[in-house]
Amino acid sequence: MKCLVTGGAGFIGANFVRHLLRARPRAEVVNLDLLTYAGHLENLEDLADERRHVFVEGDICDAALVHELMEGVEVVFHLAAESHVDRSIQADTPFVRTNVGGTAVLLSAALRAGVRRFVQVSTDEVYGELPWVDPEQGTGPRFTEETPLAPRSPYSATKAAADHLALAYHTTHGLDVVVTRCSNNYGPFQHPEKLIPLMITRAMADEPLPVYGDGLYVRDWIHVSDHCRGLLAAAERGRAGRVYNFGGDAERTNLSVVRQILRMLGKPETLVEHVTDRPGHDRRYAIDHARATRELDWRPERDFDDGLADTVQWYLEHEPWSAAVTAAARSR
């Protein structure tokens, strides 16, 4: 099986490429990544001698390159995206270009090449926000695949547009498309600007930990390894034209996650610094993954407390990696 993975030098992409090569010994992977601030070859160093993995530095908006790479591809896993909400608030044009325009280029090339399946990897943020519920007191409504899309940031709006475009290619052109939407990922190789690695690396350096607003924003956390299993399951067992949600059954407030990290590192809570909230900050996300469990035989396996402990340990053991990718991001 020949696969094209876009964004395969990023956090989720690099973890997925490893999972795919490990789980499917006959799989061949063409990995297309532009190596922007969140994509780094350091994430793929252990695959340098893997003959089934070919890395191509390039832009998904480059139609000629994409059409060339699509030849002989059976499955596309489209993970490439501008993905940081804060950055989309500061400048949204790159998000429109990559997340919408790049997806259009890939869909057109996949249709022309006769690709067997196109997996559009999206986010729960396209659903908007849910009513706030204290996760320590109980659970509330969750996003299902039937929840109307109501994106509230430039980032999530562009991802919603890309999802609509992908599903339109299925309806209009008959392209076999599956859309996946996941909750907040965590685990190894995540860029240090994201919440969990940011808090880990700053706490390690005894620096202030910036927490937006009151810190009571609720997120459903999924370990990246569980998400990778879901993507492969969607590719192999999903129904064309369907959307599948992947969640971790691990709702936490941001503040509780930060405090847990501090306890694991033996650092004082006085490092927490509440900062001005970002515009349009969604109060709560939570995923109902019943369809994925029912149709794909998928469910999250990693316990959040254990997964977070492993993640903290990974960053402790990979300080040079964190420093390198942080420096590289600042230079771009």
Q: Under 8 Å CB-to-CB from 16, ≥6 apart: which residues?
A: 5, 8, 77, 79, 227, 228, 231
Q: Under 8 Å CB-to-CB from 211, ≥6 apart: which residues?
A: 254, 255, 258, 272, 273, 274, 275
Catalytic residue among 28, 82, 124, 251: 124
Q: Are 7 and 33 in contact (CB under 8 A)?
A: yes
DSSP category for residue 278: P
Q: Are 298 and 229 in contact (CB under 8 A)?
A: yes
Active site residue 207: no
What is the maximum span of the chain, computed from C-alpha positions, in angstroms? Answer: 57
Active site residue 125: yes
Measure the CA angle with vertex 158, ends 243 and 184; round to 5°: 60
Catalytic residue among 28, 82, 127, 155: 155
Taking the C-alpha atoms of residue 193 and residue 176, their distance in angstroms, rounded to an integer, is 35
Q: How many CB atoms lie within 10 A of CB 29?
A: 23
Catalytic residue among 28, 33, 82, 125: 125
Taking the C-alpha atoms of residue 218 and residue 227, their distance in angstroms, rounded to an integer, is 19
Active site residue 124: yes
Catalytic residues, which ones?
124-125, 155
